[in-house]
A = this chain, B = another copy of it.
Amino acid sequence: MVNESILVSVEMVLFSLQGNQLYIYLQPYADDYSTGQWVLPHANKILLQDQTLEDVVHRNVSALDLGTLAYLEQVKTIGSNARDPRGWSLAVVYYGFIRRDSVKAKPQTGHWHALEHLDTLSFAHDHAMIMKDSLQRLQNKALYTSVPAFMLEEEFTLRDLQSAFEAILGFPIEKKSFRRRMQEAKLLKETNHVRHANHRPAQLFTLLHGDVHVFNRILEGVRS
């Protein structure tokens, strides 16, 4: 019986959007970058003042000073007698979003990495797998819910929203279907602002509420 010595950690997969690209926050495995490996931010300490696991995540994300945590979802818990040589370990995995308008592009520790460059990086422990599972979960959610909307700033255009979905999913979405889907879901509120550029200005929207909308059908993307 090993319960007295189970090692508990919380692993955090933090996503942000920077210039319509999906980024993930990583820390060097060795403080001096000597191994060239990366790890996910994680919490090894739970405090008595933490009421829940979400509190643990919030406390740790705040300490990282990356920006505002706008969405958080538990992915899974990994329990194993093998992943940590010190003994039986439990890792509770969360993914979350740092809202685009609050992201600090150069954090004090660690770095934001564009998702498309991740395959060039090397990871310690099972963190590559944890990231893969978390991204997979996020991609699934993008197919049938409105969660990607929480990556965006207060006011955004429908094109911004579509770009967020596309950054997550990695494939283009047909414009008309996307707009119909979003507008019929009644989750957006038209503001009385527009965004200007050297073309027709775009209507700005806000989220009507903090609820996640669940669609009946999956986004299938462009068929051709």
Contact = CB atoms under 8 A, between A and B. Distances in A.
Interface stretch (A115-123, A147-155, A196-204, A212-220): A212-220
A77 interface: yes
A14 interface: no
Interface in A1-25: 1-8
Interface string A35-67: 000000000111111111100100000000000
Interface string A71-102: 00010111111100000101010000000000
A192 B50 CA distance: 59
Contact of A217 (B8, B45, B74, B218): B218
A217 B92 CA distance: 30
A118 to B, nearest CB: 25
A149 to B, nearest CB: 20
A89 to B, nearest CB: 10
Contacts of A46: 1-3, 6, 79, 88
Contacts of A7: 3
Interface in A182-218: 216-218
B45 A3 contact: yes
Interface residues of A, number: 34
Interface string A115-140: 00000000000000000000000000
Given A217-B217, A218-B217, A1 B81 contact: no
A5 to B, nearest CB: 8
Contact of A216 (B47, B52, B218): B218
Nearest to A7: B3
A1 B8 CA distance: 12
A51 B81 contact: yes
B217 A47 contact: no
Interface of A: 1-8, 44-53, 56, 74, 76-82, 88, 90, 92, 216-218, 220
Given A2-B48, A4-B4, A51-B82, 11 more contacts: A3-B7, A3-B8, A3-B44, A4-B5, A8-B90, A49-B81, A51-B80, A51-B81, A52-B79, A53-B79, A77-B92
